[in-house]
Structure 1
């Protein structure tokens, strides 16, 4: 069990991309504010009442006139955090699938594992996830782990802690959409920054909007990005062996 009083040095921020999240966004942002004074919300061109739901909350708000995708939303949130001098950020989705109560756990593990990306891995109640999502996540984990040279658990989770060094690396990544969140783990690994996972609940309640993640189409895009990296890197046999032989780092 991590020491929940521990945190990485410096100011932290919570970054929340949001697209048409009027049902959940106020509760998500309010809960995040109880754990972190700096919350950055990127409204990615919502056509509903997402903005109105958080208009009175003390957040840094970035608005897109039209949807530009999750990757661009995250990049702008990272840029705002860097400009504020933050040493790292926690990311959360705006639909309520992530609990802000896990923020202290992610930060405590980040303090325990410097120069690591910390993933909130949806291991608790994993059987509640739709079968297509589980299959897509498993395939993505296999390929991301091979390319990164480390066994990674739940490479598609959007609840993460990124240290400042990774926020800087993210500026130069070419891909968008959900590919971005896989590629950032691989790029970090190429700079000696490893990944540790923290077990969180898998939440798929009724009434939430449909996920923006498309198991087939997005996994295919992730696979294409990884195939290119593997092909240009000589298929990285050493990485493959390390990912298969060494167990993932998972904190319960």
Structure 2
């Protein structure tokens, strides 16, 4: 018996699901769990046939809740089942039959070798049968994920995944009810520092992937919101810090109105920057990056980075001005944009890294 649980979320499947489940059942996996995610009643005979095979259980949602919710409910079901909870891991597969049995077996073998990891069945997108939209979508998402999270993943949209049982609890409470949940799984794996293993699999697209329930606009928007959400928080905190800096500057200008202009401006600038930078540090630490490191281990790095950014900005603008003769304000805008993007990565991967 293969000591893995197969999870298949299904919405209005066709007869191919029965053939696929039969092949899986013949391999004697510990259990095969099918989530009927609110399919129409006309599909009931298909699920009845599937449940008649060895070790197959069908759990039904009364209404469609999305692939993410189906997977989360399946994981919770497995963790609460004494027999399934003793498996080496869980393998998620799609209901359209696009994941070859031999590839499922590869992931099962990999899960038997390690108790704490995420295994991704990665496809090759260089073959002719890959729809252009899928090829472009995966390429863009792959590069964005690496840019924002520092991890190279060849196939961010694969539905064939193996989760070691010791790691399954990391994925039961994540956000996302539809396809964005699978992106959240990758982000959670990176944040939890799980080993992510890639296993090459066959690239199968049946009839241009027409059976997929993926909405190109709605689901793509949700996926990219998940990817950029943390960066948008970083931008929001930076904008708020800028407004606070201007507000404090004006406040101190009014308070110090009795002093000489040069002294008033200098003191107001220093005090305003001190207040806004402290606010920025606290918000980035607790809200954006949610670092568990103690403040005394991060504040030195944060202010060292701030000083380095100021020096880099000044020198870069000066050198570019000497080389190009462009107006300083335009050069500074471009330079500071690059520094802002680099600062996000450094704060995420160095300053506030757990």
Normalized against structure 1, the TM-score is what? Answer: 0.82
The answer to which of 45-54 and 152-161 deviates more is 45-54
Partner of residue 46, structure 1:
39
Per the TM alignment, residue 148 of structure 1 is displaced from its structure 2 partner at its CA by 3.6
| 1:203-243 deviation digits (Å, cap 9, x = unpaired) | 112396431123443222111112112332373348789xx
1:206 counterpart residue number = 207
* Conservation of the 8 A alpha-carbon contact between 2:138 and 2:157: yes
Match in the other structure for 2:313: none
- 1:12 and 2:23 are equivalent in the alignment: no
Q: More relative contact order in 1 or in 2 (CA 8 Å, sep 6+)?
A: 1
- What residue is the counterpart of 1:69 in the other structure? 66
Displacement of 1:126 in angstroms is 3.5
- 2:89 is aligned to 88
| Number of the residue aligned with 2:13 | 21
How many residues matched? 232
Match in the other structure for 2:326: none
2:314 corresponds in structure 1 to: none
Structure 2 residue aligned with 1:181: 182
| Structure 2 counterpart SS, 1:51 | helix
C-alpha change, 1:225 and 1:206, in structure 2 (3 Å) is closer
The answer to whether the 8 A contact 1:44-1:69 is kept is yes
The verdict on how the C-alpha distance between 1:93 and 1:74 changes in structure 2, with shifts beyond 3 A counting, is same
Q: In structure 1, how many angstroms separate the alpha carbons of the residues matched to 2:344 and 2:224?
A: 13
Asked if the contact 1:70–1:178 (Cα under 8 Å) also holds between the matched residues in 2, the reply is: yes
1:25–1:96 CA contact under 8 A, matched in 2: yes
Could you say which structure has the higher helix fraction?
2
> Alpha-carbon deviation of 1:168?
0.5
TM-score, length-normalised on structure 2? 0.60
Structure 1 residue 110 displacement after superposition: 3.3
- Taking the aligned partners of 1:207 and 1:54, their CA distance within structure 2 comes to 26
- Counting only pairs closer than 5 Å after superposition, residues 1-252 of structure 1 correspond to structure 2 as 11-35=3-27, 36-47=29-40, 48-49=42-43, 50-58=46-54, 59-82=56-79, 83=81, 84-85=84-85, 86-112=87-113, 115-123=116-124, 126-206=127-207, 209-230=210-231, 231=234, 232-233=288-289, 235-237=344-346
Residue pair 2:116, 2:165 contacting (<8 A) in 1 also: no
What 5-or-longer segments of structure 1 have no aligned partner? 1-6, 242-252
- The Cα of 1:112 is off from its aligned counterpart by 4.7
CA root-mean-square deviation: 2.5
> Which 5+ residue runs of structure 2 have no aligned equivalent?
235-287, 290-342
- Residues 146 and 239 in structure 1, CA contact (< 8 A), matched pair in contact too: no
